[in-house]
């Protein structure tokens, strides 16, 4: 039994390979992008803080309580302040991935919900400072940058 094979001249076979390679390059080359894709993030945070101005207490525990004026929910965060480090600053709402974050008694993490809030800081069970703030609604605007002249 004989097997019939088609033999092309070497030059013609090489020419077909090169042409196939260039055809694959043309087909697989990415086309020029006409749109821009932007990743954007905006979060509202409030920085709250307390400080023993004259370092009279030494080490103390500061408990921050933030109350959502719309829902009445209270969010708590407790921080230990070491002697020599007079005060502490915290961000509301804090990320739930943090070791300590603002949460309700049931463990629900605070969110950056627009609205009015009241806050206070307690040391040894007594209210030492407090205030009010409003978290704004945030939005993002994306502009396409055109380099064509």
Q: Quick check: helix, strand or coil at residue 14?
A: helix
More confident call, 18 vs 73: 73
Look at the pTM and tell me if it is higher than 0.85: no
The per-residue DSSP string of 26-74 comes to: HHHSPPPP-S----------EEEEEE-TT--S-SEEEEEEEEETTT--E
79 phi and psi, to 5 degrees? Answer: -130, 140
Going by pLDDT thresholds of 50, 70 and 90, the confidence category of residue 7 is low
Q: Which residue has the tokens 């694959």?
A: 24
User: Which two structure tokens, joined as six digits, stand for 38?
Assistant: 């932007």
Query: Distance (Å, rounded) from C-alpha 14 to C-alpha 26?
Result: 19
Going from the C-alpha of 149 to that of each of 22, 27, 84, 145, 146, the distances in angstroms are: 32, 29, 60, 12, 8
- Number of Cβ within 10 Å of residue 77's Cβ equals 23
Return the bridge partners of 67, or none: 74, 118
Q: pLDDT digit string (tens) for 57-79? A: 889 999 999 999 999 999 999 99
Q: pLDDT digit string (tens) for 85-144? A: 888 999 999 888 888 899 999 999 999 899 999 999 999 889 999 999 999 988 777 777
- Spell out the residues 6+ positions from residue 136 whose beta carbon is closer than 8 angstroms to its own: 44, 114
């Amino acid at each position: 039994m004989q097997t019939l094979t088609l033999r092309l001249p070497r030059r013609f076979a090489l020419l077909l390979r090169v042409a196939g390679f260039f055809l694959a390059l043309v087909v697989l080359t990415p086309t020029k992008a006409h749109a821009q894709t932007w990743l954007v993030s905006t979060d509202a945070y409030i920085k709250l803080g307390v400080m023993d101005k004259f370092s009279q207490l030494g080490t103390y525990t500061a408990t921050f309580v933030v109350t959502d004026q719309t829902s009445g929910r209270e969010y708590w965060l407790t921080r230990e302040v070491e002697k020599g480090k007079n005060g502490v600053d915290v961000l509301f709402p804090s990320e739930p991935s943090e070791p300590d974050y603002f949460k309700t008694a049931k463990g629900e993490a605070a969110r950056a919900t627009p609205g009015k809030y009241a806050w206070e800081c307690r040391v040894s069970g007594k209210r030492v400072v407090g205030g009010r703030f409003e978290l704004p609604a945030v939005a993002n605007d994306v502009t396409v940058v055109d380099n064509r002249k």
